[in-house]
Amino acid sequence: MTNYKLPILLILIALFCGCQKQQSSFQYNVDKFYDLEILRYDVPEFESLTLQQKSLLYCLSEAALWGRDILFDQNGRYNLRIRRACEELYLNKDKVQCTDQDWAAFEKYLKRVWFSNGIHHHYSEDKFLPEFDQSWFESACEQAGVEYDAAILPVMFDPNVMPKRMTAENGVDLVANSAGNYYGEGVTQAEAEKWYAAHKDDSPEPLWIGLNSQLVKNEKGEIEERVYKVGGLYGEALEEVVFWLKEALKYVENDAQRLAIEKMIAFNETGDLKLFNEYCIAWVKDLDSRVDYVNGFTETYSDPLGITGTWESMVNFKDLAATKRTQLISDNAQWFEDHSTTDPKYKKEEVKGVTAKVITAAILAGDCYPATPIGINLPNANWIRKEYGSKSVTIDNLMHAYNEAAKGNGFNEEFMIDDEIRAIYEQYGAICGDLHTDLHECVGHGSGKLMPGVTKDALKEHASTIEEARADLFGLYYLADPKLVELGLLPNMEAYKAGYYQQMMNGLMTQLVRIEPGKDIEEAHMRNRQLIANWCYAHANGEMEIIEREGKHYLQINDYEGVRRLYGELLAEIQRITSEGDYAAAKEMVETYAVKVNQDLHKEVLERYKKLNLAPYKGFVNPVYRVERNADGEISDVKLDFTEGYIEQHLRYSRDYSPLPSVN
């Protein structure tokens, strides 16, 4: 169902592998605080673009940045009030008398709010609490003359108020117990599901009901819909988005690109979901443009019911040389579909329109910023994917930034079992990371089919975990296939071992550095990775084992071909669950293998990781577009500035791109 956010092997591969590209003088590291590190990314080949393409990128980047407030508000109804109060306090530091320690704690809290687009951790969904007292905050605001809504105080400081942005806890009301602002106060899960069921579209070309709206209760206690559109909810921001999309029309590369942007404009102006379908079709048909974008309400991970899309945008252009690799995979999509381990009745008879490319990100925004995906496969509507195909991309310059920033960090030496596997990983880890991303996006998400009568939301709260596992497994199974060597995508049949070891080690052990002690795994991608690793480990018969050396545990793989067989078996079952809409089996699979953490192993991993002084999460600052205009006001040049810092960027965004009221 949701195919865009992609921390599969890739982010940790990128974080911890030895980069295979030449080191440059570009400064990738920007800032580091808590469990977060801020990087910047280069935009290679930007200067080779035409002025028309640069101008188009600029206009699309403006359209992207104007949606920032929307995501903050979607993530929590108090987020804009909290962010703005903290920013005003920060800007009036000279009026506040306090210790350096208190101010440093406040600054780190504000930086976390920016990173997570709200007060809940961007990955774990848990609320993070300030390391300064409520009394200090009230006193500092009084000294600085900062006015704020007192309602934000318990939201900020009481651990029992809105503790999770989105809960996945079994047996609780997923809507009422989630702090996200996709549903109005007082709306329950049962009421929301009843409303969606009553408005469900069962036509051959269904509308994605609820994708761009918030369900609330009116004065009579009845459920009604507030639509995201110009003149509706978030209208002030969408007006600006529309303005810059219209400016972008002046610089389009072809008629297909023009049509897609015109449909997006019309959708934002009206909120009409039929126009959104028309936009998706037009967008996926635009294959010739070098400049491309994602803009709008796209992924549904953050809605506890998996219906409403979050605001996100990524502006990019095609990496012409690297795209040859993904196009080769795309050209063989039918072969991959035909030779998978899934039951033939769940396979597509004809794979249509899987268009693959490697891109260079030029701006990140909304739910793609500061933390970002490094792969895209859209649109999400299954019927559009079936009839018109999909676009699948790998974002090369972000992977390169991760690699460059992670050189020599000691992770492989600490967690990989021996020099032999480290050598294989150092030689082939980046190649496997790229290929797994490509396979996941190009053919994984696009594979398989639903049985008649099965809908995209049949697996409910487990849909995202199962879908990411399905795409991951598809990629993992084929990563070890001789077909990749035959196509020239892998150098030999030894290389895939780097990807297999990384996936199993990550799913069983090292991704636990992202989990607080005593916590379960909540986030869908992390659940996916642990599900795969735990299921395979539980069903292994000597293929792998966890061994202990000098008080430390390591993964040892004894039979890599056997691991591939396990991946294939699990892929077949996950595809069956998906195709049949088997909610009970999905629930059992997730709850058995994906949620619970081995607490002893978790404690050990955290202790070992802490000694490395690494941040498990990465995010980015964007380049700044500097536009030059001639005497007639026309764009004469566009240049990129890479000098802006993390704090400076967010303060500028809040000053220049913040049209929404604090309460929406």
pLDDT in tens, 340-367: 999 999 999 988 756 888 899 999 999 9
Report the pLDDT value the prediction gives residue 404, as an integer from 0 to 100: 81
Query: Residue 396 sits in which domain range?
Result: 9-27+319-620
Residue 1 pLDDT > 70: no
Task: Give the span between the Cα atoms of 530 and 512, in whole angstroms.
Answer: 9
Nearest CA to 5 out of 245, 289, 277, 364 is that of 364
- Six-digit token pair at 293? 């974008």
User: Which residue type is seen at 39?
Assistant: L
DSSP 230: T
String of DSSP letters for 101-134: HHHHHHHHHHHHHHHHTSSB-TTT-BBPPPSS-H
Confidence grade of residue 330 (pLDDT, cut at 50, 70, 90): confident
Nearest CA to 49 out of 641, 642, 637 is that of 637
Average pLDDT, the chain: 93
Report the pLDDT value the prediction gives residue 353, as an integer from 0 to 100: 59
Contact 115, 131 (CB under 8 A): no
Report the pLDDT value the prediction gives residue 446, as an integer from 0 to 100: 85
pLDDT tens digits, residue range 634-660?
999 999 999 999 999 999 999 999 999
Task: Give the span between the Cα atoms of 20 and 403, in whole angstroms.
Answer: 8
Report the pLDDT value the prediction gives residue 377, as an integer from 0 to 100: 83
Task: Give the span between the Cα atoms of 385 and 382, in whole angstroms.
Answer: 5
DSSP 453: T
Contact 552, 505 (CB under 8 A): no
* Domains held by the chain: number: 1
Within a domain: 551: yes
Question: Given the DSSP bridges, would you call strands 375-378 and 36-40 parallel, antiparallel or unpaired?
Answer: unpaired
Residue reference for tokens 């920007």? 30
Within a domain: 542: yes
First to last CA, the chain: 28
pLDDT tens digits, residue range 297-313?
999 989 999 999 999 99
Residue 191 pLDDT > 90: yes
Residue reference for tokens 């989990």? 515
Contact 162, 81 (CB under 8 A): no
- Six-digit token pair at 428? 């082939």
Report the pLDDT value the prediction gives residue 12, as an integer from 0 to 100: 40
Residue 529 pLDDT > 80: yes
Within a domain: 44: no
Report the pLDDT value the prediction gives residue 6, as an integer from 0 to 100: 39
pLDDT tens digits, residue range 95-123?
999 999 999 999 999 999 999 999 999 98
pLDDT tens digits, residue range 604-627?
999 999 898 888 899 999 999 999
Residue 24 pLDDT > 70: no
- Within 10 Å of residue 550's Cβ, how many Cβ atoms? 4
> Dihedral of CA 359/8/70/131: which sign?
negative
Question: Given the DSSP bridges, would you call strands 552-557 and 390-395 parallel, antiparallel or unpaired?
Answer: unpaired
- pTM of the predicted structure, to 2 decimals: 0.81
Report the pLDDT value the prediction gives residue 8, as an integer from 0 to 100: 36
Within a domain: 529: yes
Within a domain: 291: no
Task: Give the span between the Cα atoms of 433 and 497, in whole angstroms.
Answer: 12
Average pLDDT over residues 553-563: 98
Contact 87, 133 (CB under 8 A): no
Within a domain: 412: yes
pLDDT tens digits, residue range 468-514?
999 999 999 999 999 999 999 999 999 999 999 999 999 999 999 88
Distance of CA 619 to the CA centre of its chain: 11
Task: Give the span between the Cα atoms of 119 and 404, in whole angstroms.
Answer: 30
Nearest CA to 70 out of 481, 607, 653 is that of 653
Task: Give the span between the Cα atoms of 306 and 357, in whole angstroms.
Answer: 28
Average pLDDT over residues 110-137: 96
DSSP 443: I
Within a domain: 150: no
Within a domain: 77: no
For the CA atoms of 58, 64, 445, 401, the dihedral, rounded to the nearest 10 degrees, stands at 60
